[in-house]
Amino acid sequence: MKRAQTEFSRRSPSGREAWGRLGSSTPSCSPPAAAVAAPRLWGNGVRDPRPLLWVEDHSIVWEPAQGNSPGVPEACQMVLSDITSLQGVPGEAEPPEPELVEAEVGGTALLKCGPSHSPGNFSQVDWFSVHKEKPTLIFRVRKGQGQSEPGEYQQRLSLQDRGTTLVLSHITPHDERIFLCQAKRPQSHEHRIQLRVYKAPEEPTIQVNALGISVSSKEPEEVATCVGRNGYPVPQVIWYKNGHSLKEEKNRVHIQSSQIVESSGLYTLESVLKAQLVKEDKDARFYCELNYRLPSGNHMKESREVNVQVFYPAEKVWLEVEPMGALKEGDRVEIRCLADGNPPPHFTISKQNLGTKEMEEMTPEDNGALVLESAQKEHSGLYQCQGLDLETMASLLSDPQELLVNYVSAVRVSPAAPESPEGGSLTLTCEAESNQAVEFQWLREKTGQVLEKGSVLQFHNLKREAGGGYRCMASVPSVPGLNRTQLVHVAVLGSPWMTSRERKMWVRENEVLNLSCEASGHPRPSISWSVAGTAQEQDQDPQGVLSVLNVLVTPELLRTGAECVASNSLGRNTTTIFLELASSRSTGLGTSTASPSVRANGTSTEKKLPEPESKGVAIVAVTVCVLVLAVLGASLYFFYKKGKLPCGRSGKQEMERNTSI
């Protein structure tokens, strides 16, 4: 290493000027010399042959005769101070900056022994890795051939470009250091390389404070923790709230970051954001951003956004009713207390007593709601919520709110049991109360047909078919679905009415048979049978009755048949059922039933059971007819093809002659 030369020019305390040039070494002050020798002079400005000071064997000396001169030792110290400040200790010149080479972890670095524009083809090169200012030989190049030294780089080094470039593969964070190249042939040369290693961190993960933060806290509380794993060097973390970056703020925002060095040499960064939050931060979105560098430039990665639960006292309490809109009796109604605090306060619900006008406390559920599973008009009234903050014991009241349950009272029809003789007149009247305007309409029960709009239904010239059920409906148009109905049966006075005088049944001898008979009339008729058996009656409606008789088919029953008699106070009527034996081809169950048909016009008719014999005969007849037609058609087609079926009048005569023959 060459040392820099330093010039000095300074006046001594005595006023004489000391000057000169110092070369290879830094001198020190020594006692007066015995002889005068001035290879490097320090003297006055006119180059006095008797210099004040000079350098000899790394010391600043002066003559003995001048040793007692005023200011000579002080001048020596002053000159030495000038030399030290200008030349440095030990006075070496600063080496040039090393060449910068960048690579990613796992990649490859090209280390050139000199700048790219410098001539290459060094025949003898030694490569060193410098760690903690200690160089270690890692590779030798002799006449273009390379040899790795034992150690951590032994399997990862190779030569390129005629031996002037050293290739380092499988880069790790531990490779970030200075590499030194010393070339000795054909000329002495030394070159330093600073290798910078980079690795992008993994996607940052963020964990929010699950316990939440109270706005009453006096110090910043932990909001979230951001972790960036396996990066190199340590990335920079930036926190954001609602898209705006956060910076350290005394007593408001504090960011605490730390890193862990993994065994691989990579860094795991952990950053904790602490902040003092306010009520407005309840919807704030926080996330962290990692900024890092790669050989390709600057990059960044963002975490997902999180929201931390913020606890703050309530300032307002209010009441809500579900469902919204007009309510009616029978609805499921929920009266709910709400507040703008978190957590919500403890709620109680009160209802005004209509008699005393005082608010009476009711017991809501745990969530501050009062549920009316089937609301009634008695639930109408004035309601109010009270919220009690269990932490501050502050109480808040909501504004009173009126609950209105619309209703329709039970429908009343008069007369309650209407009846009239056939041909007479009848008037039905419907009544109901409601807190809203009510509309009435009359419907026929069995058809659903609307007969009249209004509260009155009138009948003129009543017929037997008019008997039956009628329904009055009272509804409130302003409240959809609010209605009530009442069913009433109109009775038309008359003797029993039966569908037919007689009917026939096909049966088997000795089988068990169910005979049915239906009659209607008012008063309600009773039914009796002319034969012995087990009879059961069933009410069809207030005016109709069905009787079923279980009998055994005997020769006597086949001869006489069975007679059904229906009677009431106004008369009687009969139906006779004749029994005939079915043919052996007929099939059926061991028990036969004669059942009535569906009712028509408010009365009933009888429907006979299928007759097996008739069915068989009909099927045979149809089959024979089809066969005859088929044969006839085939014959006509045959004669037509043979030419024996002439057309026109002459042809008809020819056919007649042939037939007579």
3-state helix/strand/coil string of 308-323: CCEEECCCCEEEEEEC
Rounded Cα–Cα distance for residues 65 and 62 (Å)? 8
Whole-model pTM over 0.85:
no
What letter would DSSP give residue 107? Answer: S
Note the pLDDT tens digit of each residue in 166-205. 999 999 999 999 999 988 766 778 899 999 999 999 999 9
Q: Does the structure show a pLDDT above 60 at 632?
A: yes
How far CA 168 is from CA of 101, 118, 155, 372, in Å, comes to: 11, 21, 9, 80
198, amino acid identity: Y
Q: Is 40 in contact with 23 (CB distance < 8 Å)? A: yes
Percentage of residues in the chain having pLDDT higher than 70: 74
Rounded Cα–Cα distance for residues 358 and 312 (Å)? 32
Q: Is residue 361 part of a domain?
A: yes
Whether residues 251 and 271 share a domain: the answer is yes
SS (H, E, C) 211-233: CCEECCCCCCEEEEEEEEEEEEC
Whether residues 516 and 469 share a domain: the answer is no
Stronger pLDDT, 599 or 84, i.e. the higher one: 84
Number of domains in the chain: 5
Q: Does the structure show a pLDDT above 80 at 213?
A: yes
CATH code (residue 209): 2.60.40.10
Assign 431 to helix, strand or coil: strand
Confidence tier at 639 by pLDDT (50, 70, 90): low
Q: Does the structure show a pLDDT above 80 at 289?
A: yes
How far CA 296 is from CA of 56, 292, 603, in Å, comes to: 58, 11, 98
Q: Which range has the worst mean pLDDT, 264-278, 297-311, 399-413, 634-648?
A: 634-648
Q: Comparing C-alpha atoms, which of 474, 404, 471 is closest to residue 433?
A: 474
Q: Is residue 534 part of a domain?
A: yes
Rounded Cα–Cα distance for residues 403 and 328 (Å)? 11
Average pLDDT, the chain: 79
Whether residues 364 and 421 share a domain: the answer is no
Average pLDDT score over residue span 376-392: 90
Note the pLDDT tens digit of each residue in 392-405. 888 999 999 999 99
Q: Burial level of 95, CB count in 10 A (0-12/13-18/19+)?
A: exposed
Note the pLDDT tens digit of each residue in 461-501. 998 888 889 999 999 999 999 999 999 999 888 888 887 78
β-partners of residue 395 are 388
What letter would DSSP give residue 95? Answer: P
Last residue of a domain, one of 403, 432, 451: 403
Confidence tier at 600 by pLDDT (50, 70, 90): very low
Q: Comparing C-alpha atoms, which of 134, 133, 138 is closest to residue 152?
A: 138
pLDDT of residue 574: 92
Q: Does the structure show a pLDDT above 80 at 417?
A: yes
Average pLDDT score over residue span 524-553: 87
Q: Does the structure show a pLDDT above 60 at 71?
A: no
Rounded Cα–Cα distance for residues 452 and 407 (Å)? 23
Whether residues 259 and 286 share a domain: the answer is yes
H helices of 117-252, in order, are none
pLDDT of residue 636: 73
Q: Is residue 647 part of a domain?
A: no
Whether residues 397 and 428 share a domain: the answer is no
Q: Is residue 39 part of a domain?
A: no
Average pLDDT score over residue span 410-415: 95
Whether residues 436 and 391 share a domain: the answer is no
Average pLDDT score over residue span 72-86: 51
Q: Which range has the worst mean pLDDT, 20-34, 270-284, 389-403, 605-619?
A: 605-619
β-partners of residue 158 are 167
Rounded Cα–Cα distance for residues 269 and 199 (Å)? 13
Q: Is 313 in contact with 394 (CB distance < 8 Å)? A: yes
Last residue of a domain, one of 494, 511, 529: 494
Indicate the Cα dihedral angle 10, 13, 17, 19, nearest 10°.
-40
Rounded Cα–Cα distance for residues 45 and 649 (Å)? 172
Whether residues 489 and 503 share a domain: the answer is no
Whether residues 174 and 133 share a domain: the answer is yes
Which tokens sit at 394?
């502050």
Average pLDDT score over residue span 439-448: 94
Whether residues 385 and 467 share a domain: the answer is no
Whether residues 512 and 549 share a domain: the answer is yes
Rounded Cα–Cα distance for residues 128 and 153 (Å)? 11
C-alpha R_g of the chain = 61
Q: Does the structure show a pLDDT above 90 at 17?
A: no
Which tokens sit at 155?
């399997």
Whether residues 300 and 326 share a domain: the answer is no
Q: Is 95 in contact with 159 (CB distance < 8 Å)? A: no
195, amino acid identity: L
Rounded Cα–Cα distance for residues 592 and 513 (Å)? 5
Tell me the pairing of strands 124-131 and 134-142: antiparallel
Q: Which range has the worst mean pLDDT, 140-149, 284-293, 437-446?
A: 140-149
How far CA 651 is from CA of 337, 638, 659, 661, in Å, comes to: 106, 16, 12, 16
pLDDT of residue 73: 56
Q: Which residues contact 650 (CB under 8 A, 6 or more apart)?
A: none
Q: Which range has the worst mean pLDDT, 332-346, 476-490, 537-551?
A: 537-551
Q: Comparing C-alpha atoms, which of 351, 478, 355, 354 is closest to residue 408?
A: 478
Stronger pLDDT, 537 or 94, i.e. the higher one: 537
Q: Comparing C-alpha atoms, which of 233, 228, 484, 437 is closest to residue 326?
A: 437
Residue 233: is the preceding peptide bond cis (ω within 30°)?
yes
β-partners of residue 526 are 567
Q: Which range has the worst mean pLDDT, 60-64, 369-373, 465-469, 517-521?
A: 60-64
Q: Is residue 426 part of a domain?
A: yes
Rounded Cα–Cα distance for residues 286 and 439 (Å)? 60
Whether residues 188 and 107 share a domain: the answer is yes
Q: Does the structure show a pLDDT above 70 at 100?
A: yes
β-partners of residue 594 are 515
Q: Is residue 535 part of a domain?
A: yes
Q: Burial level of 122, CB count in 10 A (0-12/13-18/19+)?
A: buried
Q: Is residue 397 part of a domain?
A: yes
Last residue of a domain, one of 447, 469, 494: 494
pLDDT of residue 640: 58
Q: Is 512 in contact with 590 (CB distance < 8 Å)? A: yes
Q: Does the structure show a pLDDT above 80 at 320?
A: yes
The sheet with strand 205-208 has its strands ordered as: 205-208, 221-231, 267-275, 253-261
Domain holding 183, by residue range, is 99-198
Rounded Cα–Cα distance for residues 505 and 577 (Å)? 7
Phi first, then psi: what are they for 59, rounded to 5°? -130, 150
Rounded Cα–Cα distance for residues 505 and 613 (Å)? 11
Q: Is residue 3 part of a domain?
A: no
Confidence tier at 622 by pLDDT (50, 70, 90): low
Average pLDDT score over residue span 309-333: 93
Looking at 508-570, which runs of residues are DSSP E strands? 512-522, 526-529, 534-541, 544-552, 562-568
